[in-house]
Each structure stands twice: as C-alpha cells, then as structure tokens.
Structure 1
Amino acid sequence: MSETRKSRVLCDVDFDRDGRQTGFLRLFHSSHVSAYGFLPIPIVVLRNGEGPTALFVSGNHGDEYEGQLALCGLAQSLDPERIRGRVIILPTANYPAALAGNRVSPVDNLNLNRIFPGDPDGSVTEQIAYFISSELIPRADLVCDLHSGGSSLLYTPCSLTNHVADPDLFRRQIAALRAFGAPLGYVQGRAQGQGGNLTLGGVAERRGIVTLGTELGGAGAVSAEGLAIARRGVRNLLVHLGILPETEREPAEETRIYGLGGQDHFVYAPEGGVFEPLAEPGETVRAGQPAARIHTPETPWAPPAEAVFARDGFVLCKRQPGRTLRGDCLYVLGGAFTPSG
C-alpha cells in the first residue's frame, strides 16, 4: 500500500476535534439513477482530549447484523464527556451491501473483507477498503471488526483473533479477546491460505495494531444472544483500553478459547444436494463421527453422500441453507488452544 496515494473519499468529520461528530464518508459514484451522486457511508467520532483510539467496524459484510445494531447503540449512548481519547464508529462499512442485506456489494460484486488494502482509483468496494486502510486504521490503537455468519452460516456467538508472529502483539490480542468477554473465543491461523492478508484485520496486524473480530450468530437474522455479547463487549474493550473508566466494565464469564488451524477443522460438502446436518453449533464431536448426509431428491434412488469430522473438536458453526454444492463449507471446528499458538 502506497501511503502517497490519497483516497478519493471525502469525510464530513474532523478526527481531531473534541465532542461528538456524526456525518458521512462521501464516495462519489455515478449510476443510472444518480449521475452526480455519492454513497453516504455513516461515520461517528467521539473524542475527549488525548488518549488511545478505538476503531469499531461492522457491516463489512452487509448480511451480518448484530454488529451493526451494537454499534448503532454505542453511537447513541456513548457520552464523549465520559471518555478519554477517541472512538471511531463505522457501522455499515460496506454501505451498498448493508442496504441490500448481501455479503458482497451489489455495485461491483466484491467482498470487502477480501480486497484490503484496496485501491483509491478502483471500484466502489476497493475505494472503501482503501479509505479504511489509509485513513482509519492508522489512527487506531485497537481495531474491532464485528462479524457474524451472514446468510450461509450459523455460529455459536464468539470472539476471535489471529495468531501473529510478533509475541508481544499476540499477547495483547489475547488480552483483548479476554477483555471483550464473549463466552467463547478462538484463535485462527491461515487454514484457507493467505486470504487473511487481504482482510481489514490483516491490514491492522501488519501495522502492529491489536485486532479483534467476532462471529455473533448468522442465518441472515439477528441473534439476541450475539447482540447482547456485542453490546457488552464493545464497552468492555473501551474499558480495557482506558477510554472508559473501570466502573463501566460489565461482568462477563471467563472466555473459553479454542484454536482453529488446518484444513482438518473444516468439513466441506463432498457432493451437491440437500444438506442434512448431523451435529449442531455448540456440540463436541469426535474424529470419524458422521457430520452430514448430502441427499439428491432429484435422484431419489441414489444413497446420500456422507461427510465425517476429520478431528475432535467443538462445533463453532454450520452451514445454514439446505441446498449445497460440492465444496461448500458445512462446519468449522474449534480445537485445543495453547498460548504459544
């Protein structure tokens, strides 16, 4: 990412001004229905003097709602007079996708969380990624990117972070994971290749910034449990950073942390058809245990294909839609975690 290239996105707020500011990122986009219009991506900034900065993002994927609601609540309730430092809130980062309720943008069909650090001269989604990478992340001491399973997955609500090579950064990320206070958390590696390098969190980690994520539910709906965890967690992170006083901390049970490493943590559909789940999120499973049957009602005399779990683990999430294609992810398992990663 070249630091000399300037984002084309205009911003209504002054990041260095005290008080509460609300406004929009103005991403100019010419379309059939709006020749000279802009996409108004809402942003909220609260500041009270010098101190640490927390960046909270949701709507990175537009069909993930718990984080969006939690950050709307934070934007409405947080009193700038009670904080020390700065809080930046971006509730619908991929604004077109959020309005459409889609994982990817309906404008350019791009997944925001797979194209960081973006391009200031690129498509709409690439410009959003570049603004976040160049203007928001560098200002932060902690980045929290709130996700859930979206339309295709259903998660046991949890928080997450990445295993990073820098031992001090990894220690601080685990501390933030525990401070968030979700009942479950996991530490992920690079089980699906280097895609993590193209995420919002990957940009922050390469800058040495503490980064935390969540998976708060899914199935294209709002999980009441996941929303409650998010609302508590974002405030507890502000306490953890020293932006809010200790008296604002909300009690939470100790986080049980799992690891998510290689491909044996994933179960994929061996064939296309109708997915019959044989385990649910929150269950503990064993290696060799049947995970799913894939039926083909269009060929009713054919026996179902079967998928099995390749390892012992805790079911973090399962696929939601019944119809599936070969290669779709059916389950993700958490395994044993050690502080060394």
Structure 2
Amino acid sequence: MSTQANTPLNVGTASAAPGEVARGYIAAGKLAGGVSVEIPVVVINGAKPGPVFWVNGAIHGDEPEGPLACMLAGKRIDAATLSGAVVMVPVVNPIAFSAAERGNPLDTFTYDMNRIYPGKPNGYFSERVADAHWQAMKDVADLEISIHSGGSHSFLDKAIFVDETPEAVELAKAMGAGWGCIMSSFNPSGSPMAALKSIGKTGITVELGGRSATSPERFRKVGTDLADAIMNILYHYNMMDGTAVYPDPCYIGQQEALLAPASGIFLPAEGVDFLTMMKKGDAIATVVDVFGDTVGELHAPADGMFFGLRALPNVNEGDWCCFFCKVEGTRD
C-alpha cells in the first residue's frame, strides 16, 4: 500500500495541502444544451502521511445513501489529525443522480455505469463519464469502497461483495460490527472494485438502504451506519485515533437472486428478518392472488440468509423478489 506524503493532493479541481480540505469537480464532458457534466469530489488531506482511502457514492443515480454517508462522515474527519487522505466522490454518476434513475436516461447503450466501468475515453457518454472518474482515481486510491443500496426497487441490509483477495476481505471486515454478510463478487468486471483489482489495488462493494428506508428517520439511520463504517475503516488502518470493531460472526457466501414463482402479491413469512440464519427449505414468503388464495411459495434455497427484499409487493411470475446469501461457512 502506498503512502500519501506531506504534499498537496490534487483530484480534479480540488487541491488540498496537508491538513486541509478542498472541494472541486472532475470534468466529465458537456451535453448538447451546453451544460457541463462535472463529478463532485471532496479531498481531505491529512497532516500526516498514510494511505489514500477513496469513497464512491451514487454510481447508480437512484441510490442517495452514498452521498449522505459522505456528508456525515466528512464532518467527523479532522484533517489536522488524519494520517493519509480521504477522497470522497458523493455522486459518481451526476446525470443519473439528477434524474433519480439507476443510469443515465440519455444513454440507453451503456445505461448501467456499474456494468461498464471503467468506461472508455471515446465510448458512449456514460463510458466517457466513467473514464473521467477512473483517470482521477486509479493513480490516487489505495483502498476504495463503492456504496450501493436497493435504490428504487428494493431494500438491502448490510452486505458486502469482495474479490476474495486477503486485502479485500480485510477491508470488508473493517466496515465494522453488523457487516458480517461478506459474499464473493458476482460482478468480476465492470465495477470500480474490478477495475482496481486489475491494477493490483483493493476495492469492495457495500450495500445498505433503498426504497423501504427513505423516511426521514430511517434514511438518516442508514447514512449514519454507513458513516460509522467509514470511520471504522479509518480506525482499522490507523488513519485516525479510535478503536475499530469487527463483525462477529463473519460469513463467506454466494448471492442468489430468488424469483417469484407466480404472479400476485408477495408476502414475507411472519418472523423472517434480514441477515438472520435460516435452514434450507425454510419459508421466506408466499405469493397470493388478488382474492387472497396462495398461488406460490418461496423457500430458502440453502442454509443462509436473505439480505434484500423488493420494495413493492405486487409481482409477476419471474420477477425478482429476494437476494439470498447462501452461506458456505465463517471467516477467521
């Protein structure tokens, strides 16, 4: 892991001397109407040397939890006592975020930026925005987390995807207590995590929040939990003074998306809850038709836990209903 020396740190137009905080933008092109597309960035450059920890939010535009986490964590980080640096990009995909959509609605060919990252300098528009972000990050970041949620379609509880390198697993555990659902990445390419791995660096994808947790109290709670995890990472890597805590138990597993067996209304079984171990075959939900008759049932495909549920209960046969972690064991 490299060390940020006691020199100014420049990302886009943000330039922070040691012990300072700077805000700025990464230029990412211009729209037909003359509007410049800029990716916001905050650089917190510590007064002491250390690694550079990079936080990405809203690569999906309907996931505002990342920006909130950056806001809350940024208020708690003191550049004067920080070792290394923290770079926060609250909104990686500014057009998608402005439209509150998963991807850029102006770009149907590369709509999902988390599938085409790191993009191309001469590609479709979203690929060019991704490339602008990548060029700013790749030589600066040592450690990276991308913050995701269930967005407009679901709620996801605390879950992490890693590439199973020891460095990525360490970073995942450093998210802190409650973050023990750590799964092998289902997306070996097309994400910041995968792009960083290709150059020998470490990134992870974290999930928390979504449509069912956007009331004022619940949204702030999600943001606070994510900000706490950011701070815990700083404690773990000795970038700030503080005592790190860790998940116990800590699982290894694989994700499986469970689909609706019939069309109707999706009703989770009484007593089931997120991140709670269940046995293969345990009831997760039933699907009832508009008359209240049961037309389908959903059961755990293996020993494990579900970490995501759809937000709207009306489903058609084959619709996504639930994200399930098939637990394979525990991590040391």
Q: Same fold (TM over 0.5)?
A: yes
Displacement of 1:228 in angstroms is 2.3
> Structure 1 unaligned runs (5+)?
1-9, 165-169
Give the match's secondary structure for 2:61. Answer: coil
Structure 1 position 291 matched with structure 2 position 284: yes
Conserved 8 A contact 1:11-1:24: yes
Instruction: Specify the alignment match of 2:150 in structure 1.
Output: 149
CA deviations on 1:298-339 (whole Å, 9 max, x unpaired) are xx5975133322112122121111222333322222313344
Displacement of 1:234 in angstroms is 0.7
2:175 to 169, 180, 190: 180
Could you tell me how far apart the structure 2 residues matched to 1:92 and 1:20 are?
Answer: 18
Displacement of 1:27 in angstroms is 2.3
> Where in structure 2 are the equivalents of 1:98-109 lying within 5 Å?
98-109=97-108
| Counterpart residue identity of residue 238, structure 2 | G
Structure 1 position 58 matched with structure 2 position 57: yes
Per the normalisation by structure 2, the TM-score is: 0.83
CA deviations on 1:195-235 (whole Å, 9 max, x unpaired) are 33111111112222222332122226254443222111111
Structure with more of its chain in strand, by fraction: 2
2:328 to 295, 313, 336: 336
> Does the C-alpha gap of structure 1 residues 256 and 127 become closer, same or farther in structure 2, counting only changes over 3 Å?
farther
> Does the C-alpha gap of structure 1 residues 333 and 257 become closer, same or farther in structure 2, counting only changes over 3 Å?
farther
Per the normalisation by structure 1, the TM-score is: 0.81
Could you tell me how far apart the structure 2 residues matched to 1:186 and 1:137 are?
Answer: 27
| Counterpart residue identity of residue 322, structure 2 | Y
Conserved 8 A contact 2:232-2:245: no
> Does the C-alpha gap of structure 1 residues 184 and 242 become closer, same or farther in structure 2, counting only changes over 3 Å?
closer
> Where in structure 2 are the equivalents of 1:306-321 lying within 5 Å?
306-321=297-312
> Does the C-alpha gap of structure 1 residues 16 and 140 become closer, same or farther in structure 2, counting only changes over 3 Å?
farther
Further displaced range: 82-91 or 170-179: 170-179
> Where in structure 2 are the equivalents of 1:63-82 lying within 5 Å?
63-82=62-81
Displacement of 1:70 in angstroms is 1.3
> Structure 2 unaligned runs (5+)?
1-10
- Superposed CA RMSD in Å reads 2.7
| Counterpart residue identity of residue 188, structure 1 | M
1:189 to 178, 184, 188: 184
> Where in structure 2 are the equivalents of 1:1-341 lying within 5 Å?
11-14=12-15, 19-31=20-32, 35-48=33-46, 50-109=49-108, 110-156=111-157, 158-164=158-164, 170-191=165-186, 195-219=187-211, 221=214, 222-244=218-240, 247-249=241-243, 252=245, 254-261=247-254, 265-278=256-269, 279-297=272-290, 300=291, 304-334=295-325, 335-339=327-331
Structure with more of its chain in helix, by fraction: 1
Could you tell me how far apart the structure 2 residues matched to 1:138 and 1:322 are?
Answer: 44
**Percent of aligned positions with the same letter in both sequences?**
22
Conserved 8 A contact 2:116-2:127: yes
Conserved 8 A contact 1:259-1:336: yes
Could you tell me how far apart the structure 2 residues matched to 1:30 and 1:70 are?
Answer: 29
> Does the C-alpha gap of structure 1 residues 261 and 320 become closer, same or farther in structure 2, counting only changes over 3 Å?
same
Conserved 8 A contact 2:26-2:133: no
> Does the C-alpha gap of structure 1 residues 214 and 239 become closer, same or farther in structure 2, counting only changes over 3 Å?
same
Give the match's secondary structure for 1:184. Answer: coil
> Does the C-alpha gap of structure 1 residues 301 and 336 become closer, same or farther in structure 2, counting only changes over 3 Å?
closer
Could you tell me how far apart the structure 2 residues matched to 1:28 and 1:257 are?
Answer: 42
Give the match's secondary structure for 2:224. Answer: helix
